Amino acid sequence: MKRPPLAVLLPATLLATLLTGCVVPTGTPIPPSSSPTASAVSASPTSSTTDASHPFTVETLPRIDGSTANIPLISLMIQRLTGLPEAEADAEVATTGTPTAWRNLVAGDTDLLVVYEADQSVQAEIKKSGVKLEAHAIGRDALVFFTNSSNPVTSLTTKQYRSIYTGATTNWSQVGGKDGEIVGYQRPEESGSQALMRKYVMGDAKMAKAPADHITGEMDEIITGVASYANTGNALGYSVYYYLANMYAVDGIKMLGVSGVMPSNATIADGSYPYGNDFYVVVRADAAADSPARKVMEWLLSADGTQVVKDAGYVATQR
């Protein structure tokens, strides 16, 4: 069933109120140890021709780009839409990361995004371009903080996270931990998780300048950096829940709560975890009604599409 668009723009309103989330460096592959959760999901039967169950072939699919944390979902979409087995569908996924994906759609270099929210600078670029985009929320993820599992701290308030990242709080003993310097890792300015960080924690507050080796360009680097920092529990980092829980879970890392609420699919779904944020399917507003991009978008907004989001392990948006 075709659904009316939730928004037809990107100029200002949509991007300012919708977009923000994580993902990462251009063309960054997921490390072998972080195989997508889609691998645990039963794929559709193999098929090289279209039928009612598999309406697309690889050749007729729209060009799909998006966020690194959405790679498992994109793979499962390809499996369900084409009948490709998991390994072959994985090979067809080619995402460039949140900021580049948005730019690619505006430039006409891709047809459809499954993507997290863009940061303010990318939102401004889209508005300036005059290109109108149509975005619909299809699932939710969340900004999460994490530290080494040896750190006794289990939860902090938003005020405490902000104080750490402005440089006002510098020792774990100030927030209920052991005596030791807090080493705050950061993400690049245009990354999806940085956009969430500014949206939910920092606001207009200025982040303290971090050493270059504590600003990680790739999502996996901030996790491994925090896990192994000087063999201590002093480091702190942030990412998105799905990536940390499902795509790059490593030994020695634990997630922290916010005011006593721990991140989980359940707390993200019911809104009790405060840093939950939507991710989107996005097409150009001028995409033809019979275009592959619009057909895939409408499928994602159907009951079958919602089920794919759930089967891939994400929190689906309620409709």
Position 6 in a domain = no
Largest CA distance in the chain: 63
> Domain check: are 74 and 159 in the same one?
no
Using alpha carbons, list the distances in angstroms from residue 5 to 64, 80, 133, 315.
19, 24, 10, 21
Length of the chain: 319
For the entire predicted model, the pTM comes to: 0.81
> Domain check: are 250 and 290 in the same one?
no
Q: Among the three residues 233, 251, 270, which one is the final residue of a domain in this structure?
A: 270
Please report which confidence band the pLDDT of residue 230 belongs to, taking 50, 70 and 90 as the band edges. Answer: low
φ/ψ region of 245 (left if φ > 0, alpha if ψ in -120 to 50, else beta) reads: alpha
Position 207 in a domain = yes
Q: Supply the range of the domain harboring residue 29.
A: 13-140+277-316
Q: 37-58, pLDDT tens digit by residue?
A: 333 333 333 334 556 689 999 9
Q: Name the burial class of residue 270, with classes exposed (0-12), middle (13-18) and buried (19+) by CB atoms within 10 angstroms of its CB.
A: exposed
Q: 102-130, pLDDT tens digit by residue?
A: 999 999 999 999 999 999 999 999 999 99
DSSP string, 134-198: EEEEEEEEEEEEEEETT----EE-HHHHHHHHHTS--BGGGGTS-SSB-EE-B--TTSHHHHHHI
Q: 119-175, pLDDT tens digit by residue?
A: 999 999 999 999 999 999 999 999 999 999 999 999 999 999 999 999 999 999 999
Residue 151 has which token pair? 């750190």
Find the CATH number of the domain harbouring 168.
3.40.190.10
> Domain check: are 136 and 146 in the same one?
no
> Domain check: are 253 and 291 in the same one?
no
- State the total domains in the chain: 2
Task: Enumerate long-range contacts of 299-302, CB under 8 Å, 24 or more apart.
Answer: 299/81, 300/77, 300/114, 300/136, 300/138, 301/3, 301/136, 301/138, 302/1
> Domain check: are 66 and 186 in the same one?
no
> Domain check: are 164 and 215 in the same one?
yes
> Domain check: are 126 and 150 in the same one?
no
Position 244 in a domain = yes
